[in-house]
């Protein structure tokens, strides 16, 4: 896994917010620089599939991939979240908090424009609550629904 911010000694973007397409593009550019003679193929699963398809849709003429596969793509995160909520919501929230907890030190002292409250994040019981206190903030969106709409590859 490549995190273009950590290689620069930080977890947050210097200016602005996280952006899945811009960040994915940074990873692709890094790979192209590191392996200029290679042929590239991509496989995305679940949210990774959504990210891949969103990237391909916005870079249809400039991406380096000779082929790509999308597996288990939610396409529209507003609809997917509503459908998965009854069965998996608490599980998804817990998994995301576990990942964040393992990297908690990197999220301390955020820049002023990203006002994270780690205590609230770790108290989140649902994915929506997690996205309300974490995801929408680091991506610079006013609401969770706006965040889901923006990152959904269907848009």
pLDDT tens track for 29-80: 989 999 999 999 999 999 899 999 999 999 999 999 999 999 999 999 999 9
Domain span holding position 99: 6-151
Structural domain total, the chain: 1
Residues above pLDDT 70, as percent of the chain:
90
Residue 37 domain-assigned (yes or no): yes
- How high is the pLDDT of residue 93? 92
Does residue 60 form part of some domain?
A: yes
1 in a structural domain? no
Instruction: Check: CB of residue 121 under 8 Å from CB of residue 97.
Output: yes
Q: Domain for residue 48, yes or no?
A: yes
34 domain residue, yes or no: yes
CB contact set of 47 (below 8 Å; sequence gap of 6+)? 74
Answer yes or no: are the C-beta atoms of 3 and 23 closer than 8 Å.
Answer: no
What is the number of other CB atoms lying within 10 angstroms of the CB of residue 155?
A: 12
Question: Which pTM was predicted?
Answer: 0.82
92 within some domain: yes
């Amino acid at each position: 896994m490549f995190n273009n911010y950590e290689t620069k000694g930080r977890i947050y973007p210097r200016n602005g917010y996280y952006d899945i397409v811009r960040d994915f593009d940074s990873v692709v550019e890094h790979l192209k620089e590191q392996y200029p003679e290679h042929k590239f193929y991509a496989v995305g699963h679940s949210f990774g599939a959504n990210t891949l398809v969103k990237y391909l849709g916005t870079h249809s003429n400039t991406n380096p991939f000779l082929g790509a596969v999308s597996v288990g793509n939610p396409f529209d995160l507003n609809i997917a979240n509503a459908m998965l909520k009854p069965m998996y919501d608490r599980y998804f929230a817990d998994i995301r908090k576990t990942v964040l907890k393992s990297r908690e030190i990197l999220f301390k002292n955020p820049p002023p424009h990203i006002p994270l409250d780690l205590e609230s994040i770790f108290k989140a019981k649902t994915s929506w609550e997690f996205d309300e206190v974490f995801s929408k903030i680091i991506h610079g969106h006013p609401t969770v629904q706006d965040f889901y709409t923006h990152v959904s590859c269907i848009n």
